[in-house]
Amino acid sequence: MPPKPLSFLQGMEGYITPQNKVDDDGFKYRLCYNEGAYGPSVRALEAAKAALAQSHRYPDINYTDLRKAIASKYTLDASRIVCGVGSDELITVLVNGYVKEGDEVIISKYGFSLYEVATKLVGGKPVFVPENDLRMDLNAMLKAVTKKTRMVFIANPNNPTGDCITRSDINAFLRELPPDILFVYDSAYAEYIDDEDYSDGFEFVGEEGRVVVLRTFSKIYGLGGLRVGYSYASRAVTECMNIVRKPFNVSQVGQAAAIAALGDDDFVKKSRTHNVIWRENLFNALIEFGTRPYDSKGNFVLTRFKSSEQAASMFAHLKSNSILVRPMAGYGLPDCLRFTVGQEQEMLALFAAFKNFNWN
């Protein structure tokens, strides 16, 4: 008989649960993973192809050029940037560096599910804070703080709900949050937003602060398959993360593509404009057919159906039309589906499938 895993791992579910599983082999329209509608830019693809010629070489263990490119783009200190295998890896790096068995991590009830998984993997206790109609409640999160609290996760915009918190509300939250608690500000969808009252998070970090900002190249830059993300934090937190992270964690191809993607402002602007137009069209279509969509600032819209049965029927109907969307039962929202904003032809196919659905 093989040895048993650690007690707190027994019976635990991983990030992909049966309720959220999407079988995506051979499907024409994939609107389930919030991938960038246009995929990688031409400049990113060319850089990736050129880097393939050096695939026998280990990548730069310190990703020097990528950190410099990020720092130049956002006027940051390159020495305080850590890169990872998507921002997913950096979530686990932070939890491994700061949370031990029995510690508490505060998560909004419908926050990104990897926060929960990463916390449980080290024996920590995720503390889920109720939301107000799928909107994050910062005051309730503050009230959930105890002496055991080590970390707070907030995704802004939030995935899967699309909820977005203003700069002033985040500042007010930070003024009340005890200074010994690490605050992880996940702004994976920041590039989709051009609102004055939104912050990508860098302004909250400070020289010696306890705020960590997470970013990714998986969304608007279309590099989800290459797995590149990064964090920005104080020197102390950065030092901890560099101890915990794996060496050579970001591939040479990924680094090259990310650097090129950062320099392609026209591509980002085009992607953002497209997203605003078709996200609104999607939102309006969902209202027209009698569902209840939630306002979103990301590249997706979550909507509530009349029942869990209707949501399941819609999922099956779309699947029969070669369209994959994301079921939300794994988040405790069986009557909801999440739709990624795709290219124009994908969205038109989705709307046509809506019209052919039996809404009764």
How far apart are alpha carbons 121 and 9 in whole angstroms?
7
How far apart are alpha carbons 21 and 143 in whole angstroms?
34
Cα–Cα separations (whole angstroms), residue 191 to 108, 114, 146, 221: 22, 21, 34, 9
Question: pLDDT tens-digit profile of 82-141?
Answer: 999 989 999 999 999 999 999 999 999 999 989 999 999 999 999 999 999 999 999 999
Confidence of residue 28 (pLDDT cuts 50, 70, 90): confident
| Position 72 in a domain | yes
Query: Which CATH number goes with the domain that contains 316?
Result: 3.90.1150.10
Show the domain range for 348: 7-39+266-355
Last residue of a domain, one of 262, 288, 319: 262
- Provide mean pLDDT across the span 321-348: 95
- Provide mean pLDDT across the span 226-248: 95
Same domain, 199 and 240: yes
Which of 16-25, 245-254, 266-275, 332-341 has the weakest average pLDDT? 16-25
Helix (H, G, I), strand (E, B) or coil at 125: strand
Same domain, 223 and 82: yes
Same domain, 227 and 348: no
Chain CA centroid to CA 152, Å? 15
How far apart are alpha carbons 24 and 144 in whole angstroms?
38
| Position 321 in a domain | yes
| Position 305 in a domain | yes
| Position 360 in a domain | no
Last residue of a domain, one of 225, 246, 262: 262
User: How many domains is the chain built from?
Assistant: 2
